[in-house]
Amino acid sequence: MNQNSHPFTVQPGGRLNGRLRVPGDKSISHRSIMLGSLAEGITHVTGFLEGEDCLATLKAFRAMGVGIDGPTDGRVVIHGVGLRGLKPPPGSLDMGNSGTSMRLMSGLMSGQAFDVTMTGDASLSKRPMRRVTEPLASMGARIDATDKGTPPLHVHGGQRLKGIHYDMPVASAQVKSALLLAGLYAEGETCVSEPAPTRDHTERMLSGFGYVVRRSGNCVCLDGGGRLRAADIDVPADISSAAFFMVGASIAPGSDVVLEHVGINPTRTGVIDILRLMGGDLTLMNEREVGGEPVADIRVRSAALHGIRIPEALVPLAIDEFPALFIAAACAEGETVLTGAEELRVKESDRIQVMADGLTACGIDARPTPDGIVIRGGRLGGATVGSHSDHRIAMSFAMAALRADGPIRILDTANVNPSFPGFVALATSCGLSIREGADA
């Protein structure tokens, strides 16, 4: 796709106001399809994110013989086939741009009786998979990748898996989840310990489907050979999608928004903690639990932000939200320093370098480091920035226009709608002056 294709143009200034509900949580939507398919009985899902990444997971299980009705307005009905009920797909499984699908499915497919090949788009085909395939191999899985350890992945069926105790060298929810999902099919106990907390949606949902999961400190364990029983899943709004509006409302004077029904899983709330450390005004209201996941309405009002040194303990809890947080840093008084975030270099793009390039184009002093960035707050100018087909980069720079002194034009935004359906319409409804398309 042409890097200049499908631009956004966002006019400078304005503020955000109103009550918003962003689309459903992507991580929970993926897992609802996976576990619902492998459960016994019928699972009903509401709030499902109808973006291309989650639809790639849904289509993969349909291809393996699972009856799935929908999605219709976020509602999905899954006719589970049990842990041993999947059938060989007629061809390869296309994961599109979804690293979550590829990595978690690597674990699930390792326990099947049949071979499967998983492919992805040009971006996914460059993303590293060894951190998943190597520990899976130690369980007995056989997975072929390219010489660089990237997709396509060919998973050999009929392998006898054995549980392992794995100490993750780098905190990663996707690696942890892949090993636990393989552990469903393994002999004995599979345990994963993590150096820092990561999102625990897999463990919570396994428990919700009746599977015994044991947690002790930084370690989570399960035994193979159990059963999953159908459950109803109400997917909360995605905090990663809400993060753009949290930052936008924080930086634009006169803003006051309420983000409704947002998942506030404690392994995901780093963005709230970091914005508060920077002086942000965020209030959690109507806290409740829905389907095993904590949920709240989040009120965000504009505030004078100041730069901070971001605590490394918060990095895994905000790993997907850093592009938006970099915009907050650019609008803050003083210097913000991020370290311990080398994982950002192997996301949909090198998010450290791409954000630094874009901020520099806007006149901000942004210096990338091997594992982070140093951003000195300043005056944002209008600019044309490249998103490198990364949806989070594009949406972050859209919010930057609220504090810019000229229009911000963002190139190659076609991946925004698959990730966040209706972003432009929702942003427009609360006050952002954004247009999309070649004539924008």
Q: Catalytic amino acids? A: 320
Half-sphere exposure of residue 257, counting CA atoms within 13 Å on the CB side? 30
Amino acid type, 74: G
Question: Could you give the 3-state DSSP secondary structure of residue 191?
Answer: strand
Evaluate whether 318 touches 271 at the Cβ level (below 8 Å): yes
Helices (H), ranges, 270-390: 270-277, 322-330, 351-361
Q: Give dist(CA 147, CA 143) in Å, integer.
A: 12
E strand spans, 86-132: 93-94, 116-119
Evaluate whether 424 touches 22 at the Cβ level (below 8 Å): no
Q: What is the DSSP letter of 327?
A: H
Question: Could you give the 3-state DSSP secondary structure of residue 260?
Answer: strand
E strand spans, 124-213: 143-144, 153-155, 165-167, 189-193
Read off the tokens for 208: 């919700």
Q: Give dist(CA 149, CA 71) in Å, integer.
A: 34
Tallying the residues shown for the chain, one arrives at 440
Read off the tokens for 288: 């409740």
For residue 406, the cross-strand partners are none
The DSSP line for 232-254 is -EEPPBPHHHHHHHHHHHHHSTT
Amino acid type, 36: G
Q: Give dist(CA 12, CA 69) in Å, integer.
A: 43
The DSSP line for 344-357 is GGGSSS-HHHHHHH
| CA-to-CA dists, residue 195 to 18, 36, 218, 344, angstroms | 39, 30, 7, 17
Q: Give dist(CA 175, CA 273) in Å, integer.
A: 25
